[in-house]
Amino acid sequence: MKSKILMAILALVIAGLIAVPWIASYFYVFIFTEILILGLFAASFNLIFGYTGMLSFGHAAFFGVGSYATALVLIHLQWPFLACLLVSMGASALLALVIGFLSVRLNEVYFAMLTLAFGMMVFAIAYQWRSVTNGSDGLAGFSLGSFGLGLDLTLGNPSVYYHVVLGIVAIASIVLYVICRSSFGMILKAIRQNPERVSFAGLNVRTYRLVAFVIAGTFAGLAGGLIAPFLRVASPELLHWSMSAEPVLMAILGGTGYFLGPFVGSAVFVLLETWITSFTESWMLVLGIILALMVIFFRKGLLGTLIDWWMEVKK
Amino acid sequence: MSGIGSALLNSLDIGLLLFIIAVGLNIVFGVLNIINFAHGALYMLGAYLAFTLINMVGMPFWAALLLAPIGVAILAVIIDRVLLRFIYSRDVADSLLLTFAILLIINESVRMIWGSGIQVVQPPQLLSGSVQLLGSSVATYSLFVIVIGLILLAGLWYLFNRTRVGRIMRAAALDRDMAEALCINTRMVVTGVFAFGAWLAGVGGVMAAPMRALDPGMGDKIIIESFIVVVIGGLGSFPGALLGAMVLGLIHGFGGRYLPEVNLLLPFVGMALVLLFKPHGIMGKGATT
């Protein structure tokens, strides 16, 4: 009964998401495009944080590299959009392999500091390698051509782009969900709860962590590839550690224990940001207070707290 | 030759300043087992408090050097008693998240109070000139930073190795339950150590104020540098913090002069190299899973 109600709510949400361009103004189409892309970014982060128990503060490295990859391919090669996204995923996967190899063998405090430092290293490269990345201005002035697969889509139209993003994020989320529910995902959960026991069971914890880190980096790269045409620029801000903090905040806000938690977090984050910045510049102050309260009192996040409450009530 | 001499002095003053800040981070980690993400924000607060005391209130630099770090330490006691007490028994990740929230709050408060523009603090008259040393002219203030850094280094070493307070701190770091069993009020020790770490960050902030322009991003810059210092030297290690700070000081002092194109990148390269060969840092122990 309960799972049926949950499925019905999910179906309603999906139907609502599909209908956004027909029932809402362009303003909300933009907002929901951002929610979906950042939601995928946060969900990829949660694979290593919520599932595997590794708190990374450098996830923006993969997001930003993904956006630069798509921007560079569009500027220099004008490939179809799908090919750009594949390049983004490949570039981020490769970077995640290198950073992950150096970082996953260390415990959580070290891991958090290291990923932060490596993330800032990528930021420094994008900032200083002017001939390729155009320095602090970032890459702009690219336009989307065809989509690929012979589909005739006007990607320049925000509504069309929204639906493309919705489709790609949906497919990516299903893939991520399948990974989380697979035996591989179960081992990741076990690693979060007790790494010693997993390694006594004969499994190589380090390899599992590295694979999870690369998968997360790959999907963050995909999200980055989607954000570049949306923002019409790939700039170093996308690589900065304040960008790395966003998926952390979204995952905590929504709830790290549920697959959809980061998406809920992303929606609340973006809507709250839009609403609060309309009357004060101190969005970060509000965010800090919310985060402190969430960590101290609602560690399960909004979705987790809601579901707990609902289970209590409906008993 | 004079180029190398001044690069060396420059490395030493950057390195000792970094040491003062990073050792605070390390002490807090050693005793409380939390990484204080807001450590850089506390450093920034020290600098801005000094700015207010000197430029607004009109106090001499020396008074600011005395008072501003105490102000930062008082704030740290409040942070500890109001916020951190909830998460001491939890996962390390929670302390990272909570101190990150504190960082956001402090950063934005600084922006609200002092504005996002750049502020400048003048060094005191006595230290504003330059002197001839090793065949080149060196800012007197750099020498002052080196002297204060060395005094603090010696003082900290003495505190940890030769005093009762230092022994209590080390006991609490080694085994908090055991220390408790020996009638040490560990609750007090925890608050005291957190305040002491913040005081060191505040001292670093005041010392840095006349050397660097003040802006609301200065704390974020220093926290990443401190992390690199700690990773290179080894988490929780006192000599490690000194070694890491000196390595980073040398990278800045010489890299900025001889390799300007890649100087932003060099600290990270140094860190990656240390990690490849000594994953726990040069002086660290037991950080792998």
**Ordered DSSP codes for B123-149:** PPGGGSSEEEETTEEEEHHHHHHHHHH
Query: Are the C-beta atoms of B66 and B55 separated by less than 8 Å?
Result: no
Residue B235 lies in a domain: no
Cβ-proximal residues to B213 (8 Å cutoff; 6+ apart), any chain: B118, B119, B120
Q: In chain A, which residues have their Cβ closer than 8 Å to the Cβ of B279? A: 105-106
ipTM of the predicted structure?
0.87
Higher-scoring residue by pLDDT: B261, A164: A164
| Residue-wise pLDDT tens digits, B66-117 | 999 999 999 999 999 999 988 888 887 888 889 999 999 999 999 999 998 8
Higher-scoring residue by pLDDT: B159, A137: B159
Q: What is the span of the domain harbouring residue B140? A: 2-223
- A204 touching chain B per CB within 8 A: no
Residue B249 lies in a domain: no
User: Is the pLDDT confidence value at A165 over 80?
Assistant: yes
- What are the sequence ranges of the domains in chain A? 30-240
Q: Which of B35, B271, B276 sits opposite A109 (nearest CB)?
A: B35
Q: What pLDDT shows up at residue B289?
A: 36
Average of per-residue pLDDT values in chain A: 89
Helix B218-233 with B266-277: angle, nearest 10 deg: 30
Percent of chain A with pLDDT over 90: 47
Query: Are the C-beta atoms of B195 and B77 separated by less than 8 Å?
Result: yes
- A181 touching chain B per CB within 8 A: no
Q: How far apart are CA B172 and CA A144, in angstroms?
A: 60
Q: In chain A, which residues have their Cβ closer than 8 Å to the Cβ of B289? A: 105-107, 195, 205-206
Interface test with B, best of A95, A285, A287, A290 (most B CBs within 10 A): A285
Q: How far apart are CA A169 and CA A226, in angstroms?
A: 9
- A241 touching chain B per CB within 8 A: yes
Residue B56 lies in a domain: yes
Please, is B175 exposed, middle or buried when counting C-beta atoms within 10 Å of its C-beta (0-12, 13-18, 19+)? exposed
Number of compact structural domains in chain B? 1
Higher-scoring residue by pLDDT: B265, A247: A247
Residue B265 lies in a domain: no
Q: How far apart are CA B197 and CA B209, in angstroms?
A: 19
Structure tokens at A171: 């497919």
Residue B150 lies in a domain: yes
Structure tokens at B191: 């608050």
Cα radius of gyration (chain A)? 19
Q: How far apart are CA B156 and CA B165, in angstroms?
A: 11
Phi first, then psi: give them for residue B137, nearest 5 degrees.
-85, 135
Q: What is the DSSP string of A125-183?
A: HHHH-HHHH-GGG-EE-------BTTB---TTSHHHHHHHHHHHHHHHHHHHHHHHHSH
Q: In chain B, which residues have their Cβ closer than 8 Å to the Cβ of A102? A: 272, 275-276
Interface test with A, best of B39, B221, B251, B275 (most A CBs within 10 A): B275
Q: What pLDDT shows up at residue B111?
A: 93
Lookup result for tokens 């970094």: B18
| Residue-wise pLDDT tens digits, A190-221 | 998 888 898 898 899 999 999 999 999 999 99
- Residue length, chain A? 315
Q: In chain B, which residues have their Cβ closer than 8 Å to the Cβ of A103? A: 275
Q: Do B101 and A118 touch (CB under 8 A)?
A: no
Q: Do A282 and B264 touch (CB under 8 A)?
A: no
Q: How far apart are CA B107 and CA B217, in angstroms?
A: 8
Percent of chain A with pLDDT over 70: 98
Mean pLDDT, rounded, for A81-88 = 93
Q: What pLDDT shows up at residue A280?
A: 82
- pTM comes to 0.88
Give me the tens of pLDDT residue by residue for chain B, a chain 289 residues long. 467 877 888 889 899 999 999 999 998 988 888 889 999 999 999 999 999 999 989 899 999 999 999 999 999 999 999 999 888 888 878 888 899 999 999 999 999 999 988 998 888 888 887 887 766 777 888 889 999 999 999 999 999 888 998 888 888 887 878 888 888 787 888 899 999 999 999 999 999 999 888 999 899 889 989 988 988 888 878 888 899 999 999 988 888 778 777 777 888 888 878 877 887 778 776 444 3
- A229: closest CA of chain B, how far (Å): 28
- B89: closest CA of chain A, how far (Å): 12
User: Is the pLDDT confidence value at A47 over 90?
Assistant: yes
Helix B92-114 with A283-297: angle, nearest 10 deg: 160
Q: What pLDDT shows up at residue B288?
A: 40
Q: Do B228 and A205 touch (CB under 8 A)?
A: no
Q: What pLDDT shows up at residue B285?
A: 61
How many helices and strands in chain B, by DSSP H and E?
11, 2
Q: Which of A205, A284, A292 sits opposite B102 (nearest CB)?
A: A292
Phi first, then psi: give them for residue A234, nearest 5 degrees.
-115, 110
Mean pLDDT, rounded, for A251-264 = 91
- B260: closest CA of chain A, how far (Å): 10
- A130 touching chain B per CB within 8 A: no
User: Is the pLDDT confidence value at A296 over 70?
Assistant: yes
Q: How far apart are CA A13 and CA B182, in angstroms?
A: 59
Q: In chain B, which residues have their Cβ closer than 8 Å to the Cβ of A114? A: 231, 271, 275
Name beta bridge partners: A106.
B288
Q: What pLDDT shows up at residue B1?
A: 45
In order of A221, B46, B233, the CA distances from A288 in angstroms are 27, 20, 31
Cβ-proximal residues to B30 (8 Å cutoff; 6+ apart), any chain: B173, B236
Compare all CA atoms of chain A with the CA of B234 and give the residue at the minimum distance: A110
User: Is the pLDDT confidence value at A265 over 80?
Assistant: yes
User: Is the pLDDT confidence value at A169 over 90?
Assistant: yes
